Structure 1
């Protein structure tokens, strides 16, 4: 039996793109729709960025997605936050109608008898300022990659930035001891990913 999956990401709150996604999912009668991160709009100014995204999650996103559930009530919609989505607003997504979508971060979900998906929002450290969903890549670097990895950290990583909190932005700095304690490599060794 065929199972149609429609995947997209990086919509960044573009309502026209959400409408196109919903219309296309309906057109092809998608069984599963996955929005793989960067759900909310980006703002160039840090002022009100967090609140702006929260408002989108609480008020705009449900209105954009309900037509999908009305036309395809048996379809499953999965969301995961991306590195431009403020982690502090996760609760705004969790409070929405559970029939509308499923959040996937840190979960293994069966799509079919043969296919599971696993949600994982973290990305390697970026040159961007928001650090909510960033971690070091590796805790135990293979000896043949040490030089390349150290160079990458010097040239591609921005180790300072901000994290979202309920009271606004908080300055954040990655430190070398964090690399040994917490990394994407360590997370992926968890039984969830096996």
Structure 2
């Protein structure tokens, strides 16, 4: 049962974070928190996101369990926290090198044709709207509403043959984020399920 929960969550987390990381530039993002609405083929999920420079924390509820994922662009490591069990998993194989195409704007633009679509206000922020048409047809297209003030996308819509994904950040609150949000809490034990981690890191 635990393996099934973790497997499902890993799939959701990976999908979510690859979408999140694709549009980011190499510059530092602002510090803020926001409510997350994520619509995927598996369903609609709500949660929260916390951002500080090159660090991200996402909290969601899945199968009536609170799940937390931390992504550290500064170290190239992703962490899955399981608060109910005081355990965590490390997924360094998932994110690969710090300069992977998914987190480098220049490499992204090598992977896709980028078309400027004008400016549009989204959730209180003026955004530049872009359409990315990937050279790899299996990746489809992505529309992005990017806030220069936050140096972060407010909304993303991805259309793929495998299914569409929409991620949007609402009720954005600009404020200082504590470093502890992006660290492994004291007392948590590291765990690993080889079958899952092998699949996610490949």
TM-score range (shorter-chain normalised) is under 0.3
Structure holding more strand per residue: 2
Normalising by structure 1, we get a TM-score of 0.25
TM-score calculated relative to the size of structure 2? 0.24
Larger radius of gyration: 1
